[in-house]
Amino acid sequence: MGAMWMRMKAHRWAYTLSILATLAVGILIGTIVSSEVKGKEGQSGKSEVTPLTIPSSSSSGGNAFSQQLSNAFASVAKQLEPSVVNINTESTIKNPHRRGGGQGDDDDSGNMDDFFNHFFGGPGQGGQNPFGQGDGSIRERSLGSGVIVDPKGLIVTNRHVVEKADRVRVRFQDDPPGVQHDAKVIGTDQETDLAVIEVHVDHALPAAKMGNSDSMQVGDWVLAVGSPFGLSETVTAGIVSAKGRDIVPGRQFQTFIQTDAAINPGNSGGPLVNMNGEVIGINTAILSETNAYAGVGFALPSKTVVEVYNQLTGPEHRVSRGSIGIMFDAVENPAIARVYGNGSGVTISSVVPGSPADQAGLKVGDTITTVDGKKVTKGAELVADIAARRPGSKVNLGFVRNGKSQDTAVIIADRAKLFAARLGEDQENDEENSPKPSKFGVIVRKVPPEMADRLDIPQGKGVIVQDVKPGSFAEDVNLGRGDIILEINKQPVNSEDDFARLESSLKSGQDVVFLVRQRGSTKQDGTIFLPGTLP
């Protein structure tokens, strides 16, 4: 028994020692492994780690299609970048706290400057840097883009980029830092928001090639080139998202190419190009709640750009468009055709008194069906055809009245003359026939019925400010183009005669308080007082 106990005790000790030995070896091995790992972290371990490498620039990455597309993007960007310029403008802002100035078409559903304030944050974009003047005004610097279209120095950009600028300067791709070239505005077109500027240099400039916007299809790849936020030589890629997009109701000469290529403030005036490196549009606007890229941008088609450019660079430096003086429902409505029983065509809703259409005997309710024998079914087709004709030329119109087909000859008139009031500016610059600014320094007119309806203003109430003279009393009290004056010193202003009568009754030193519905505001926004003392 005692011997057995001794053998069991000895066996237990041996077992315990074996476990301890195993643990010791395990701890030792772990220590060694840990030491080796730490040693590899602290040392390079070059003999066991494969160095990283990058392929040569000529090697292809990804599949063949993606590499081919990438190469195409790079080729187009390299080709176009030298033709794209940075435009720097300086302008004097008399009343820096006044929102949105500029000129616009007061007859549309919104002024053009309101439109660009919404889409691009105001005239000029990117890199705005206002600085004060001694007279309380400020000098504002803005950036935009442009594209060289003639080696002699002719550049296309947006009108709102150079509008009302005191100084326009251009920087080319290869210019050293700080070097800029003064540019002259050759001509602008309000209705398409295009402008042509010119820079004089002693060498030929790299001009971009114009492409055919009509050949583009939804889904085609495009690149946008410009200076967003002042970052020159920026290229973004996308596709044509839509064509023929009307984004400003009533603007008959602005149908845009929609793209998802990133366009931001500062891109305005730069080119949208196809994969052949051809300019198929001029980047003009974005749809965004933040004034920055949100996936929807708009470019004016090259077909329109070329037509406007050729006229702006002509002897008169202005765009002449034909018109016969009619209006029609911009939104096609089958109910009109059914009620009037005229079938396909453009039904006249209004005839301008004394216009060519009026003189030719056309009346409200007539439906125009042909132009020189060519069938027309949409208002846009009719406008495009008539606008392209030279004022003074003759056109034969076929129309239907009370179910009977008739025709008449109409002499084309200059649209600018017929619709100067609706356009909100005298495009003829006829100083002798233009109304002169009043004592207040403004030109006013009756509120158009369609605008009164849109702003919920009773018919016959108020006058709209058509123009404001710089440095005038009206500008001092912050009256601006498009504002609607409802009262002066508690007296209603319902016509130009009311305005003139109240204005003439006021003398230097008297207080003047305007009750105004500001441009772009709605009934919910209410009205405001604009007070001042007549100098």
Catalytic residues: 160, 193, 268
Give CA separation, 62 vs 55, 58, 67, 78, 238, in Å. 12, 13, 6, 22, 20
3-state secondary structure of 367: strand
Phi-psi region of 306 (alpha: psi -120 to 50; beta: other; left: phi over 0): alpha
Residue 364 and residue 340: Cα distance in Å, rounded?
A: 11
Chain-centroid distance of CA 120 in Å reads 6
In whole angstroms, how large is the CA radius of gyration of the chain?
Answer: 35
Q: What angle do CA 5, 6, 11 make, to 5 degrees?
A: 100
Q: Are 193 and 300 in contact (CB under 8 A)?
A: yes
**Pair of tokens at residue 89:** 């403008």
Residue 472 and residue 486: Cα distance in Å, rounded?
A: 20
CA atoms within 13 A on the CB side of 25: 6
Residue 90 and residue 143: Cα distance in Å, rounded?
A: 9
Start-to-end Cα distance in the chain: 132
Query: Which residue has 């600028």 as its token pair?
Result: 165
Q: Are 196 and 154 in contact (CB under 8 A)?
A: yes
Closest CA to 198 of 178, 182, 179, 174: 182
Helices (H), 225-301: none
Residue 79 DSSP one-character state:
H
Residue 91 and residue 142: Cα distance in Å, rounded?
A: 9
- DSSP per-residue codes, 441-452: SEEEEEPPHHHH
Q: Are 493 and 502 in contact (CB under 8 A)?
A: yes
**Pair of tokens at residue 41:** 């972290």
Q: Are 89 and 102 in contact (CB under 8 A)?
A: no
**Pair of tokens at residue 515:** 């009750």
